[in-house]
Amino acid sequence: MPAQPISSDGHRYCGKKPTRGLIGTLALLILVLPASSFAEPQTTKGESKLKIIQLCNGADRSSPDQQINGCTALIETGKETGLILAIAHTNRGNAYTAKGDYDIAIGDYDTAIKLNPAFSKPFNSRGVALSKKGEYERAIKDFDEAIKLQPDYAKAFANRAEVNQKLHNYQQAARDYDEAIRLSPNLGDVWNGRCWARAVLGQLQPALADCNKALEMRPNDAATLDSRGLTYLKMGRFDSAIADYSSALRIEPKMASALYGRGLARLKKGDAPGGNADVAAAKQVEAKIADDFSHYGIR
């Protein structure tokens, strides 16, 4: 599987106008709020303004709760500008998303959007939270709006591609990955994501090139090894598929797609005991794995 974790992103600010910085797939970089932009927050613990801002910016990566507390302190002053409040609500929403509290996060993103409807970041982040809840069509609309507001928003293209894959819209996913790679070729798992989409579409040589590129960047990534395993499986290169699936499983022993793909490759080679054992193990992990592979053009 491509297994690109869709993640809320934050973005660095050097003044009062948002920049358009991009993040890596797994990083939770936070909107940086300049200390000079804030009124002094009133706190019962004597914390300085700078400390509160640092917390809301996610300087303490040990716990999302610290970021939530910092952003809440800023929001509750009632003295900040609309843009600053939109940033604080987006930061707090990102922290709630990191905790898995998606409904609360969505509430913060809603508020940020009301405060600054031209701000692309909370649309992208709300799309992430909606996708985590399985509300894919609503997520797509938010990514569309983020891209409309910020046409060079590579992360939003990558997130939309991932959701399009979940909806089995592989052609659109591949186009979105094309754009994400054009805008930011070092962004997260986009090469792996496009490898997967191309493999499903039967564009096997380009898919293989993408997976090889992804593995140059992250040599021991189980998801990319799994994607290349699928590519080799569809090419009929069963030994190579088995090798990649086995490597993925050494890293993630319960990866259902790698178990099922290896099982199919073993069956194609005439290894019925090994193949059937892998297929059975995959179905124990993910009951509908055979249906998934049917969408990939493999039965």
The residues near 5 (Cβ < 8 Å, ≥ 6 apart) are 25, 26, 189
Q: How confident is the model at residue 193 (pLDDT cuts 50, 70, 90)?
A: very high
Which residue matches tokens 């999302």?
A: 64
DSSP string, 25-47: SS----PPPPGGGS-----TT--
Q: For the segment 50-98, what is each residue's pLDDT rounded down to a tens digit?
A: 788 888 988 877 789 999 999 998 888 877 788 889 999 999 999 999 9
Supply the pTM of this predicted model.
Answer: 0.83
pLDDT at position 44 is: 46
Q: How confident is the model at residue 34 (pLDDT cuts 50, 70, 90)?
A: low
DSSP string, 161-223: HHHHHHTT-HHHHHHHHHHHHHH-TTSTTHHHHHHHHHHHHT-HHHHHHHHHHHHHHSTT-HH
Within the chain, residue ranges assigned H as helices are: 49-56, 64-75, 82-99, 102-115, 120-132, 136-149, 154-166, 170-183, 190-201, 204-217, 222-235, 238-251, 256-268, 272-285, 289-295
pLDDT at position 1 is: 55
Q: How confident is the model at residue 31 (pLDDT cuts 50, 70, 90)?
A: low
Average pLDDT over residues 8-29: 32
In single-letter form, the type of residue at position 165 comes to: Q
pLDDT at position 53 is: 83
Question: Which domains, and CATH codes, for the chain?
Answer: 1-160 (1.25.40.10), 221-299 (1.25.40.10)
